[in-house]
Amino acid sequence: MPVLRAILIWGALVMVAGVPVAVAATSPLLAWRDPVYIAAGFAGVVAMVLLLLQPLLAGGYLPGLSATRERRVHGWIGGTLVAAVVLHVAGLWVTSPPDVIDALLFASPTPFSAWGVIAMWGVFASTILVVLRHKLRLRTTRWRLGHTALGVVIVLGSVVHALLIEGTMGMASKAVLCALVLVATLKLVIDLRHRLLRAKPGDLP
């Protein structure tokens, strides 16, 4: 049974991650689009898929992975997420600099732009927190709370950003992916809260 459960979980995860990418790849909205614009769009799709993996790895919810490997993969995916966000924004900058400037200044007439910028700064802030973790000398519990709080900001901003865009992912696959990202993040936050409530002050690192 454990093996069958692991196969089902990983199979479902691959399907959930693969369907939005496949839908985006076959979208008629890609017709006559510039290759840079297409690459930027796909970077955004990949970033949403990676957001699903991060809370699953952080919470230890994926079967067959040791805690050490989960932390290592979580770090690798975090770096890939940063690269995807940079590629997404850089590609949009190449295709339309005024729109990106308006978005960064929160002056864009499109509501989804502001949410995307909030999520982007959340990704950068989370990365800086990871890089400076040892220099800041934060206790593990405080660092984890800060990292998780930024993760919530990233997820909320990204989900609203994605849902407000009528893009290549398709509404059904996008809605399912966003819902799962929210559920996985909420599960992680609840589990962390329960852990902190059950622990005695001396038990917290």
DSSP characters for 150-203?
A: HHHHHHHHHHHHHHH---TT-HHHHHHHHHHHHHHHHHHHHHHHHHHHHS-GGG
Residue 204 lies in a domain: no
Residue 126 lies in a domain: yes
What pLDDT is attached to residue 200?
58
Contact 20, 49 (CB under 8 A): yes
What's the domain count of the chain? 1
Q: How far is CA 113 from the centre of its chain?
A: 16
Contact 123, 154 (CB under 8 A): yes
Question: What token pair was written down for 192?
Answer: 């962390």
Eight-class DSSP state of 27: -
Residue 171 lies in a domain: yes
d(CA 56, CA 59): 5
The helix (run of H) or strand (run of E) holding residue 105 is none
Residue 142 lies in a domain: yes
Residue 203 lies in a domain: no
What pLDDT is attached to residue 1?
56
| Torsion angle defined by CA atoms of residues 181, 29, 103 and 161, in that order, rounded to the nearest 10 degrees | -20
What pLDDT is attached to residue 157?
96
d(CA 42, CA 15): 17
What pLDDT is attached to residue 203?
52
Residue 205 lies in a domain: no
Residue 94 lies in a domain: yes
Task: Name the residue range of residue 29's domain.
Answer: 2-196
Residue 201 lies in a domain: no
Q: What is the pTM of this model?
A: 0.91
d(CA 60, CA 68): 10
Question: What token pair was written down for 3?
Answer: 């093996």
What pLDDT is attached to residue 204?
56
Parts of the chain with a pLDDT under 50: none
